[in-house]
Structure 1
Amino acid sequence: MLRFILHALAVLILTLLTQIGGIVYLIALAAAHAFGLRRFPAKFALFLFCYAAATVATQFAAPAFGRVPLSCLTSAEDRLVVRSPIYCALNRNYVTPKLRDLAEALAAHMDAQFPGTVTVALDANFSFVNGFPLLPHLSHADGKELDLAYYYKDVGGAFLNGATRSPIGYFAFEEPGPGDELPCAGRHDWLTTRWNFDALQPLFPAYRIEEQRTAAAVAWLTTEGVARFGLQKIFIEPHLKNALGITDAHVRFQGCRAARHDDHLHIQIE
């Protein structure tokens, strides 16, 4: 009974983390039984092989379901990059073709306006099935959402191309200053993903948002992005929206139950 529970737990966790991992785990388990594999290293190696094969196969199958991958295999000439291979390894790098085109067009625009600038993508969506949750996000369930890293500069004001404050691009927040708008002040929701991770903040480098590039990216998204690609909304924390001088109605606050958006930019198309 304990073994069954452990296997069921592994299937659940792998499914939530990668969407395809639970099925792959069951396939690897059956294959290990068929081949008479008993030692854990051999079973684990078989699972990794099956998972790698399934991940590659997913890239070819996903377009039939209306989604395409953002590649982690980029060259020095690419201006749109995925922040970490972990996003591709976990199959969290899928978007609709229209959203991919929008992201690539934004990156091309930023490179044209600020030569050499790299635009960094973070979490996107899983490869199959609308409505499947991409935890811990409350959306990212239909291929139409993508998170982008902010553009950063160092303490001396020099632009840091392709850099993020945290290794995965999340959880290194731009803290509001005195007098800034605080829409969630005084709330203590028990069911929320608005985590502050206060203990982590001193561990991140003291980069700051590069205002010129970040404002230019939002300006393009709210004009060309809307007109050409049907951009529907952008999530930014109010204190950053105000600091960047953004007034466009497509730029919104995501609500107090969703994750903070002063560590990344959320874009969504219709």
Structure 2
Amino acid sequence: GGIVYLILLIWKRMNKKQWPDFRLPILFFAFYIFSTFAIIPYLSVIFNRKSLPISQATIRPKAFYTVLMNRHYVHEDLYRTMFEIGDQFRSKYPDAKLFYLDAGFPFINGFPLWPHLSHDDGRKIDLAFVYEKDGSIVPNPSATGYGIFVNEATEVCSGRFVYGLSRYLGWHRPFYEGVFNKTATADLIEIMVGHDRVEKIFLEPYLKRNLGISHAKVRFQGCHSVRHDDHIHLQIR
């Protein structure tokens, strides 16, 4: 967005005609949308990044703002890993989908994806827990994918501001009746830890115990980060 805005400002200075006040925002919005869907996906390949699918049987975004803000780019290795995990998960739960949250930006390593501490190289991604309603797999209740904790009262790092920050992102959809699917979420994480490329998964200690997971790849992220009982953080080698 910043690059698009800078280009338009330079173009405006080079153009001697007086622009109406409303013209720059309109041009910015139009060029931003065009570049998001028609330019950036092709440029990102230079940096070994690929955009995750928007509408696909196995993988799709939990919230469309992730796509509009270009936060759905991953390294090619993680792209393949996501589909391999998704296909294996769907073989057990045919109506399920992997809903991704934040991943990374499309270009250089080291560019921070605020507010995340480590989503800067295309090898990390956040995924939604599995929920169900009337026996069917459904998206989780949060409009953003974040902030709806499995157990709100359980806090390892009580009093740490950053640790509980994501609760302010947990906007419920009205009249939502889905519930956390413990079995399917545990199965999904077991598929992840069994993948050779997966290096680590962040999860709250109580939730790791409750799901019956003991693998060393699943670990606590520490008190310097947000809590991880509203989503799964996955990263590859």
Select the residue among 106, 109, 120 that pairs with 2:99.
Answer: 120
Count the aligned residue pairs: 234
Moved over 6 A (4+): 201-204
Q: Report the equivalent of 2:10.
A: 30
The equivalent position to 2:41 in structure 1, one of 49, 59, 67, is: 59
Counterpart for residue 179 of structure 2:
208
Residue type at the aligned position of 2:145: G
Pairing 1:237–2:207 present: no
Deviation per residue, 1:196-227 (Å, 9 max, x gap): 6379677774643201211111111111x1x2
* One of 73, 76, 86 as aligned partner of 1:97: 76
Where does residue 195 of structure 1 map in the other structure? 165
Q: Tell me the equivalent position of 1:41.
A: 22
Given that 1:71 and 1:81 are in contact with CA atoms closer than 8 Å, whether structure 2 keeps it comes out as yes
Q: How far, CA to CA, are the matches of 1:60 and 1:83 in structure 2? A: 23
After superposition, the CA RMSD in angstroms is 2.2
- Answer yes or no: is 1:86 the counterpart of 2:65: yes
TM-score by length of 2: 0.89
CA distance in 2, matches of 1:25, 1:247: 48
One-letter identity of the residue aligned with 1:106: I
Contact 1:173-1:201 at 8 Å conserved across structures: no
Runs of 5+ consecutive residues of structure 2 not aligned to the other structure:
none
The answer on 1:161 being equivalent to 2:166 is no
Q: Distance in 2 between matches of 1:249 and 1:23?
A: 41
In the aligned structure 2, how far is the partner of 1:215 from the partner of 1:253?
16
Q: Using a 3 Å threshold, how does the CA distance of structure 1 residues 59 and 37 change in structure 2: closer, same or farther?
A: farther
Q: Describe the SS at the equivalent of 2:65.
A: helix
Q: Name whichever structure is richer in strand by fraction.
A: 2
Q: Would the aligned equivalents of 1:65 and 1:128 in 2 still touch at CA under 8 Å?
A: yes
Q: Give the whole-Å Cα distance in 1 for the aligned partners of 2:71 and 2:160.
A: 28
Query: 1:5 maps to what in 2?
Result: none
Paired AA for residue 166 in structure 1:
S
Give the conservation status (yes or no) of the 8 Å contact 1:79–1:116.
no
Determine which structure has the larger helix proportion and give its number: 1
CA contact (8 A) 1:151 1:210 kept: yes
For the 8 Å contact 2:146–2:169, the answer to whether it is kept is no
Cα pair 1:125 1:146 within 8 Å, conserved: yes
Q: Is the 8 A contact 1:194 1:257 kept in 2?
A: no
Partner of 1:7: none
- Distance between the aligned counterparts of 1:84 and 1:130, measured in 2? 24
Query: Contact 2:144/2:170 (CA < 8 Å) preserved in 1?
Result: no
How far does the alpha carbon of each residue in 1:5-64 deviate from its partner, in whole angstroms, 9 at most, with x for none?
xxxxxxxxxxxxxxxx11110111222341635323211111112212332211101111
